[in-house]
Amino acid sequence: MVDGQTRAIRHDWLNSVCADIKALRARGTETVIVSSGAIALARRQMGLLDGRPTLAEKQALAAIGQIGLYRAWQEALGQHGLVAAQFLLTPGDTENRRRHLNARSALEATLAMGAVPVINENDALSVTEQRFGDNDRLGARVAQMASASTLVLFSDIEGLFTADPRTHEDAAHIPVVARLDERIMDMGGAPPPGFSTGGMHTKLLAARIATRAGTEMIIADGRAPHPLQRLEDGERCTRFLPDIHAGTARKRWIAGVLSPEGSLTLDEGALAAIREGASLLPIGVRSVGGHFKRGDVVALLNHHGKAIGRGVAEYSSKDAQILMGHRLEEMDSLLGYHGRNALMDHNSIILDS
């Protein structure tokens, strides 16, 4: 969207994208846009193209550039008879269950009115420790929130290759990924330097979030005009097939949480039980890691320390440390009150495939 040399908006390209969106809408396909470029636009506007801005400067630049970014989308969509609606999200809007549900309701209402949501991270208020940092994972979380059938990530590359095609002549293109195993994840690299964050590594993380939510994801080269129409016409890309067993909306939300708040290490008996669909009982927990509250998403580890799943904690980390290793009938006396009958309910546990 932003020219790599001039740092200006590519208006012709933007208008072509909006024409594609109008064509999709005419066929009954709703579209949500996740757009970046606010900081890059502001750096050009303020004459700050050189140097590395501080966190406070990035926040200020985001506040300045977001106005122009949204205006560009508003004008381009308006030329095709479409109404834009601006959403600025922080991780709290997707990672906190109640805020996630509120944001989802607002998104659904906006689509029902016929408007096109234009979403970006609220970089003016986000801090380093609590931000998406890239629009790939933000897009995946939005796709999960919207129960989207397809997420398209436009980049400067035609999808996933066995190696970086810019440095490896023998790199082979991968048209379809049926399962995101460790071999596929290892094909991602570190984010490249420059005005935007991201890279193939974050796109693969986004693919994991999206496909776990039952959403197909596509990585394609979006630099040419009419990128959506080009995809429909057979443009080369990589398709990541969705998990057909994505589960309930609650489980899809759990699967997409970016960073679990803590961890529970399980013994073999507990692991076998939850694989059979049982709730997690304290007797099967060997150790508690981190600090978390009831309702937080917590990682589940095997005895080697490898993550094997995650779930919503029914007790805080402090109470879980008291309860671990004990039987169900001992819980009330240990805590001094009557609580839940498990550390995690089976309906709030998901396991890695």
Q: From CA 353, how far away is CA 348, in angstroms rounded? A: 16
Q: Is 189 annotated as a binding residue?
A: no
36 annotated binding-site participant: yes
* Nearest to 256, CA basis, from 138, 164, 124: 138
Long-range contacts from 97-104, C-beta under 8 angstroms, 24+ separation: 97/253, 97/295, 100/145, 100/253, 103/145, 104/145, 104/146
202 among the known binding-site residues? yes
Helix or strand or coil: residue 6? coil
Instruction: Say how far apart CA 156 and CA 159 lie, in whole Å.
Output: 9
122 carries a ligand binding annotation = no
Can you tell me which residue has the tokens 């750096």?
A: 43
Please give the C-alpha separations between residue 105 and each of 98, 109, 111, 125, 276, in angstroms, as whole numbers: 11, 6, 10, 22, 34
Q: Is 22 annotated as a binding residue?
A: no
Give every CB contact of residue 276 below 8 A, 6+ residues apart in sequence. none
Residue 120, marked binder: no
Is residue 199 part of an annotated ligand binding site?
A: yes
Give the Å distances, CA to CA, from 59 to 33, 53, 159.
22, 9, 31
Ligand-binding site membership of 200 (annotated): yes
Residue 259, annotated as binding a ligand: no
End-to-end CA distance of the chain: 36
Q: Which residues are annotated as a binding site for substrate?
A: 36, 123, 135
Name the binding residues.
Answer: 36, 123, 135, 155-156, 197-203
**Sequence ranges of the binding site for ATP:** 155-156, 197-203
